[in-house]
Amino acid sequence: MADGHVYSCEPEIFSRMRAMLEMKGYKNLAKLDNLEIWTIVSAYIKMLEEIKSEEAAAKEGEKTREKTEQTNEKDAGWFPGDCCD
Range of the domain at 34: 1-60
Residue 22 within any structural domain of the chain: yes
* SS3 labels along the chain: CCCCCHHHCCHHHHHHHHHHHHHCCCCCHHHCCHHHHHHHHHHHHHHHHHHHHHHHHHHHHHHHHHHHHHHHHHHHCCCHHHHCC
Residue 84 within any structural domain of the chain: no
pLDDT at 52: 92
Count of domains in the chain? Answer: 1
Residue 75 within any structural domain of the chain: no
Residue 79 within any structural domain of the chain: no
Q: 47-83: per-residue pLDDT in tens?
A: 989 999 999 999 998 888 888 887 776 766 665 655 5
